[in-house]
Chains A and B, each alone.
Chain A
Amino acid sequence: MKVQILGTGCPKCKLLEQHAREAITELGIQVDVEKVTDIDKIMEMGVMMTPALAIDDVVKSVGKVLTKDQVKSYLDGGKFHAL
C-alpha cells in the first residue's frame, strides 16, 4: 500500500503527514509514505486544494487535515462518511 501526502510543505500539510504516520503506526501495517510537494504533480492528480491524501493513487481527501482516526478509517478500507 502507498500513501501520498500532497502539499507544498505548509503547516497543515505537515500536520496531515503526522496524522497519517501515527495512523500507520497504530495499525501496524506496512505502508510506503510519499510526500508530493511538486505543484505540477499535485495538479496533475486533480488536487486543487491542499493538503490532500491519496491511497494507492486514489485521492481520498482534498483541502482538509484529516484526523488520525479518519486516516485510519481510510487505511482500513472503510469510508469516512462525515467528511
Chain B
Amino acid sequence: MPCNCGSDKENNLIYACSGAANTGLLADQVMRTLNRDGVGDSTCLAAMGADLSGFIMSAKNATRNIVLDGCKVSCGKKIFEKNGLPFRHFIMTDFDVEKGKTAITGDLIEAVSERISPLVTA
C-alpha cells in the first residue's frame, strides 16, 4: 500500500471480476499478475459493490482505476458507473477467450497480462 508522503508516485488500483466462469478466473489471475509486475495494486471489486467507504474513497483518489471484467455482462463496469467513478475497462473475452470454454493456463494469463499492461497507461 503506497504512502503518499512526499511522493508523486502513481496509484493505479486494479479490480477484477473473479466471477464463477473461467473468464472470471482469468480476470482475477491477470489482476494478480499486473500487481506482481508493478502495474498497479490489486484491490477488492466486491467491496466497491458493497459501497464500503474506504474502498470508494481510495478509488476516488487513485491515479487510475483499472477494471478487469470477465465477460460482457461487465459487472465491474456497472459498479464503477453506479458510483460515478472514472476507470479503464478491459474484458477478458476481448482477448481471444471464450466464456465457458477456454482453459485458463499460466501461458494464457501471462499473454493477456502482457497485452493489457501497456494499455493501462496508454
Contacts and interface: CB of A to CB of B under 8 A. Distances in A.
Do A and B interact? yes
Interface of B: 1-6, 11, 13, 41, 43-44, 47, 52-58, 60-62
A59 B11 CA distance: 18
Given A54-B53, A58-B53, A59-B53, A46 B58 contact: yes
Interface string A1-32: 00000011011110000000000000000000
Contacts of A48: 1-2, 11, 13, 41, 43, 55, 58, 62
Contacts of A64: 4, 61
28 contacts: A8-B3, A12-B4, A12-B6, A13-B3, A13-B5, A42-B1, A45-B54, A46-B43, A46-B44, A46-B52, A46-B55, A46-B57, A46-B58, A47-B1, A47-B57, A48-B13, A48-B43, A49-B1, A49-B11, A49-B58, A49-B62, A51-B4, A51-B5, A59-B56, A62-B54, A62-B57, A62-B58, A62-B60
